[in-house]
Structure 1
Amino acid sequence: MNANLLFLLNVLSTWYMVGLIWMVQIVHYKMFDRVGEDVFAKYATDHARLITPIVAIPMLIEIATAVGLLMTRPTGLSLTWAAVGLVLLLIIWISTAALQVPAHGKLASGFQTDVHNTLVATNWIRTVAWSIRGVLVGWALWTLLPSSG
């Protein structure tokens, strides 16, 4: 695949996820405790089903393009840049699999304050890592843009 197209898809998917993770962290997860215990299990199950394609498709694009950028990059982007970006994604994916997915699984049986608090607290790992990735790809985009002067 063309290195510039890989980079563009990586930038777009990363910034999509940056916006999404901040909305989830600051708004969505914070409001789980307001749903009501009598309907929370259904809410949590529906949440998992409905959010999966919204999250999974861009995450898969992001990781596929990040791996691709290890092999081919636009001129001016280093292998170190690509490797750091991939390490951040690995942190995000490991956190998702080890912490957030199990928490959502537990919440599917009903609201539990301790699990909810753990979900909100551990989701900061992904929020910070995606934010750093956003800065990383934003910096790379800035350095690749032609000078206007």
Structure 2
Amino acid sequence: MDDVVLVLGATATWTMVGVIWFVQVVHYPLLGTIGADRSAEVGARHQTLTSFVVGPPMAVEGVTTLVLLAAAPEGVAPVLPWVAAVLLAVALGATVALLVPRHRRMLDAPGPEVGAGLVATNWVRTVAWSGRGVLLAVMLLQALAA
């Protein structure tokens, strides 16, 4: 059962790695090009539609992280689930503290600096989720070798 949790967690994490890199390289730079006349409308749709894409994998990540902290699969270095959990906390913390306020600004006070701010602050999440992805891959390899 532990291996199933690890596979589910790794799948959810790598889904988020793909999403966050797409957002970083394509989506946020494009949001910065939207004129003030459409910024609020596009920003609101972005928030609604994005939640459908990221909600399920983020929920799976949360649950599997807690399970892996309680009981890591055989062969997995005990520190790795904890480091992966910290990286998830960094990504989620950056979402709440850095990105949500900038998305609100897109709705309330649009301007080109909003897109630039999204790109700049999203690097925290991009690095955290990428590092988490690597750790989950290592954990999978360790579990397979055990």
Give the TM-score, by structure 1 length: 0.91
After superposition, give the CA deviation of every residue in 1:20-72 in whole Å (9 maximum; x if it has no partner): 00000000001112232221210110110111121122111102101110111
User: What is the distance in 2 between the residues matched to 1:134 and 1:4?
Assistant: 16
User: What is the distance in 1 between the residues matched to 2:60 and 2:49?
Assistant: 19
Q: Which residue of 1 aligns with 2:135?
A: 136
- How far the C-alpha of 1:146 sits from its partner, in A, is 4.9
After superposition, give the CA deviation of every residue in 1:94-125 in whole Å (9 maximum; x if it has no partner): 10000101110110125222232221101000
- How far the C-alpha of 1:79 sits from its partner, in A, is 2.3
Q: Which amino acid aligns with 1:73?
A: A
| Aligned-pair identity (%) | 38
Structure 1 moving runs of 4+ over 6 Å: none
Q: How does 1:77-116 map to 2 (within 5 A)?
A: 77-116=76-115
Q: How does 1:11-30 map to 2 (within 5 A)?
A: 11-30=10-29
Instruction: In structure 1, list runs of 5 or more residues that go unmatched.
Output: none
Deviates more, 1:112-121 or 1:43-52: 112-121
Kindly report the root-mean-square deviation, in angstroms, between the aligned alpha carbons of the 2 structures.
1.5
Q: Which residue of 1 aligns with 2:120?
A: 121
Count the aligned residue pairs.
146
Any conservation in 1 of the 2:17–2:133 contact (CA below 8 Å)? yes
SS in 2 for 1:4: helix
After superposition, give the CA deviation of every residue in 1:64-89 in whole Å (9 maximum; x if it has no partner): 10111011121011321110010001
Q: Which residue of 2 aligns with 1:53?
A: 52
Q: Which amino acid aligns with 1:80?
A: V
User: What is the distance in 1 between the residues matched to 2:27 and 2:115?
Assistant: 12
SS in 2 for 1:77: coil
Any conservation in 1 of the 2:77–2:139 contact (CA below 8 Å)? no
Any conservation in 1 of the 2:75–2:145 contact (CA below 8 Å)? no
Q: Which residue of 1 aligns with 2:61?
A: 62
Any conservation in 2 of the 1:85–1:133 contact (CA below 8 Å)? yes
